[in-house]
């Protein structure tokens, strides 16, 4: 596979992953409070930057995409933290005697919200950063 086809495949996978994740969040009504809107903003900004990078490849569009993908990464990590905190709080309310490994295990295994689900944003951000990486010795158009 040529480098151009590989980059095209990475862009397509990133696009489909972002659209699919955004659709799933919308279908799950993941917009009940302000913090739940962050993934939508990050996904939307990433899609816009990806489109700009695809339609007008150059130094500025590539740099913008890298910055937005870094923000998507931060939102994904923050989402995992928020999900884990919410699950731990709920588990402690259900059983105040839970602590240590027992609490941690129940927190990670909780189904609502799934503790590691926001990790998909981390994966998509990392995939996008691979796509946005400049090939060795190749300067993007300005």
CB burial of 111-121 (b: ≥16 within 10 Å; e: otherwise) equals: eebebebbebb
pLDDT at 32 over 70: yes
Instruction: Compute the distance between CA of residue 46 and CA of residue 125 in angstroms, rounded to an integer.
Output: 9
**Residues 6 or more apart in contact with residue 14 via CB below 8 angstroms:** 46, 50, 124, 127, 128, 131
Confidence class for position 142, pLDDT limits 50, 70, 90: very low
| Predicted TM-score (pTM) above 0.75 | yes
pLDDT, tens digit (0-9, with 9 covering 90-100), for 101-139: 999 999 999 888 899 999 999 999 999 999 999 765 455
pLDDT at 5 over 50: yes
Nearest to residue 57, comparing CAs of 21, 11, 114?
A: 11
* Domain range summary for the chain, segments of one domain joined by +: 3-132
Q: For residue 138, which of 7, 11, 10, 1 has the smallest C-alpha distance?
A: 7
Statement: residue 23 has pLDDT above 60: yes
């Amino acid at each position: 596979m040529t480098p151009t086809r590989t980059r095209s495949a990475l862009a397509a996978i990133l696009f489909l992953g972002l659209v699919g994740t955004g659709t799933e969040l919308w279908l799950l009504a993941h917009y009940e409070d302000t913090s739940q809107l962050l993934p939508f903003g990050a996904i939307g900004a990433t899609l816009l930057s990806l489109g700009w990078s695809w339609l007008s490849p150059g130094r500025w569009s590539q740099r913008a995409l890298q910055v937005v993908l870094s923000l998507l990464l931060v939102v994904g990590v923050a989402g995992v933290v928020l999900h884990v905190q919410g699950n731990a709080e709920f588990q402690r309310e259900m059983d105040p005697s839970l602590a240590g490994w027992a609490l941690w295990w129940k927190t990670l295994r909780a189904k609502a919200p799934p503790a590691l689900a926001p990790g998909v944003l981390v994966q998509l951000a990392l995939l996008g950063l691979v796509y946005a990486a400049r090939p060795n010795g190749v300067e993007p158009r300005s």
